[in-house]
Amino acid sequence: MNVNLEREQFEAMKARIREEALRTKGPLAMALKDIKHKIAILSGKGGVGKTVVTVNLASALKRRGYEVCIFDADLHGPAVPRALGLLGRMDVVSEHDHPGHHDLRLNPLTSSRGIKVVSVASMWASQEQPIMWKGAHKMRAIRQLIASVNWGKADFLLVDLPPGTGDEVQTVMRSIPELDGMLVVTTPQGVSAMVCSRAISAAKELDIPLLGLVENMSSLKCSACGEKMYPFGKGEGEKLARLMNIPFLGDIPIELDMGQCVDDGVPLVDKKPDSAFARTLDDIASKLTASLKKK
């Protein structure tokens, strides 16, 4: 009986040592060792503008003088490169004169404003070709992709997650070492808040810090009379933040130029820095950086 107990304790100790070694010295940890803060952008459902928030938050942080990287973890619908005007391919390089298969690494694409981006969209043969990987392939691809990139030094890595709490989301939550936490994006509709609450609960179950919640598409200013309208409802994001006991970082208004900005590959924060949208994103960036400094 004692022998079996000692064996179980020994195996548990080995597992803890192995997990700690991977967390601090594994391939992902070594690839990301020069990035100070790592934040995943989460939503419960699609259509909430999570990629738009990610790209414009990155631009707001960049305008504040920070070095920023984005990892586009939405394997089936990668849109970050297009939203930043990056239509080329990532370079495959080696640091050795006679490289082997495991020596090859990827250089991120860099936007005109200096934001580094890694996405499968920058590796695939064409925009029309679908990515039809299954669960295990997606999990391996995410880990291998992160570990194979020359990220360099940066202040922030923003991870644009796919909607929901599927394989890719869980892989990022479990695999990225020293993940600072999750930023949650929702919209004013009650159904969005309901689904988003499940994603928040998933992060809590995995013991991932929740840095805050933002409500996108919160209001629209009438161009004729200047009155503020609420086409999708009002206050659900702030109500959800209170209910789930996480910080509410702000409500982001609708800008009619947003669609054109995404198609042009220019973040609205850069195109219209004096807009209500840009000011809100700057305020969110300020609150986020302040909270990280307290950690």
Q: Is residue 181 part of an annotated ligand binding site? A: no
SS (H, E, C) 137-194: HHHHHHHHHHHCECCCCEEEEEEECCCCCCHHHHHHHHHCCCCCEEEEEECCCHHHHH
The confidence band for 12, taking pLDDT boundaries of 50, 70 and 90, is low
Q: Is residue 48 part of an annotated ligand binding site? A: yes
Is 3 within the bounds of a domain? no
Q: Is residue 44 part of an annotated ligand binding site? A: yes
Burial class (CB in 10 A: 0-12, 13-18, 19+), 148: middle
Q: Is residue 100 part of an annotated ligand binding site? A: no
271: containing domain: 9-293
Residue type, 263: D
Is 1 within the bounds of a domain? no
Average pLDDT over residues 58-68: 98
Give the chain's domain count.
1
Q: Is residue 45 part of an annotated ligand binding site? A: yes
Q: Is residue 50 part of an annotated ligand binding site? A: yes
pLDDT of 98: 45
pLDDT in tens, 71-90: 999 888 889 999 999 988 88
What is the overall mean pLDDT for the chain? Answer: 86
Is 2 within the bounds of a domain? no
Instruction: Give yes or no for residue 5 having a pLDDT over 70.
Output: no
Average pLDDT over residues 132-160: 89
184-186-189 Cα angle (round to 5): 160
pLDDT of 184: 94
**CATH number of the domain bearing residue 250:** 3.40.50.300
Higher pLDDT, 205 or 32: 32
Where do runs of H (alpha helix) occur along the chain?
2-25, 27-31, 50-63, 80-83, 135-147, 167-175, 190-205, 236-244, 258-264, 268-271, 276-293
Pair type for strands 68-72 and 116-119: parallel
Residue type, 242: R
Token pair 């391919």 is at which residue?
Answer: 89
Is 72 within the bounds of a domain? yes
Average pLDDT over residues 38-49: 89
Q: Is residue 171 part of an annotated ligand binding site? A: no
Q: Is residue 85 part of an annotated ligand binding site? A: no
